[in-house]
Amino acid sequence: MSEPMLRLEGIEKIYNKGNTGEVQVLRGAGLQVAAGEMVALVAPSGAGKSTLLHIAGLLDTADAGQVAIGGAEMTGLSDRRRTIVRRREVGFVYQFHHLLPEFTARENVMLPQLANGTSRAQAAARADDLLTRVGVAERAGHRPSAMSGGEQQRVAFCRALANSPRLLLADEPTGNLDPATSDRVFGTLVELVRDTGLAALIATHNLELAARMDRVVRLQDGLVVAA
């Protein structure tokens, strides 16, 4: 059996809340996501979904446990190595698009590529290809303020995939959109994941969207369990 693209084992995370003491958010959470698989992560607000995603994507470190991406152990890597792996292997999408307002859609998708050493010409071509695939090619020269919420989130998807990552992590990617727009934008995300064959772990409150993925898991009492 091939190694999963993402493997989390025994993940623990404790936060010090000052006067209220310590709060253990994750209590040995484990999860595997295979290449080409879309997994929905559902849980109430405050249950630790974002914490788990940040640990999986090397934005945060666990107090205990192991993280492996593409079969390579990430635990114990230096900050520099974690940054390199994150830039090359992981794409992030958030509830709010976080596009840089002073740059156009094309430039927002080019920026992570330029940071990864891609030439401007190649980065622009890749950006235009992705924007075309999600149906916003005509907005390539527009800044975020001139785009709708759904268009901005499609651009955010393109930015997340700009460096051809093998793992996509999304935290409530349609949570800021109205139901109709959410459905259309999520459909775009599914198409992108299926076309590229990457592994995707998507946190969502929307059970209808979760049901459209390959598998649904819940975060309960600090553990990942089957839904």
The ranges assigned to domains in the chain are: 37-61+77-214
Supply the pLDDT for residue 135: 84
Residue 185 has pLDDT above 90, yes or no: no
So what's the pLDDT on residue 1?
Answer: 52
> 96-130 burial, b for 16+ CB within 10 Å, e for fewer?
ebebeeeebbbbbbbbbbeeeebeeeebbebbbeb
In this predicted structure, the answer to whether residue 127 has a pLDDT above a threshold of 80 is yes
Give me the percent of the chain exceeding a pLDDT of 90. Answer: 50
109 Cβ partners below 8 Å, 6+ apart?
123, 126, 127, 130, 131, 155, 158, 159, 162
Packing angle of the helix pair 149-161, 120-133 (nearest 10 deg) = 130
Cβ neighbours of 41 (radius 10 Å): 28
- Whether residue 110 has pLDDT greater than 90: yes
Look at residues 144, 140, 143 and name the one whose alpha carbon lies nearest to residue 127: 140
Q: Residue 224 corresponds to which tokens in the numbers above?
A: 């990942």
Are the beta carbons of 88 and 163 closer than 8 angstroms?
Answer: yes
Average pLDDT of the residues in 200-227:
88
Select, from the ranges 1-15, 38-52, 99-113, 206-220, the one with the highest average predicted confidence (pLDDT).
99-113
Query: Per the structure block, which two tokens stand in for 33?
Result: 């996501």
Give residue 119's pLDDT band: very low, low, confident or very high (50, 70, 90): very high
Pairing of strands 6-16, 22-33: antiparallel
Query: Over the stretch 17-50, which tens digit does the pLDDT of each residue have?
Result: 767 678 888 999 999 999 989 999 998 777 788 8
pLDDT > 70: what percent of the chain? 98
Q: Which CATH superfamily is domain 37-61+77-214 in?
A: P-loop containing nucleotide triphosphate hydrolases (3.40.50.300)
Question: How confident is the model at residue 118, as a pLDDT?
Answer: 93
3-class secondary structure, 202: strand
What's the pTM value of the predicted model, to 2 decimals? 0.88
Q: Which residue, among 134, 131, 123, 57, has the nearest Cα to 88 in the 3D structure?
A: 57
Indicate the burial class of 219 (C-beta count within 10 angstroms; 0-12, 13-18, 19 or more): buried
Which pLDDT does position 212 carry in this prediction? 87
Mean of pLDDT values over 3-28: 86
**Interval 149-162: pLDDT, tens:** 889 988 998 999 99
State how far the Cα of 67 lies from the Cα of 82, in Å rounded to an integer: 11
What CA–CA distance (Å, rounded) separates 24 from 35? 30
* Most distant CA pair in the chain, distance: 54
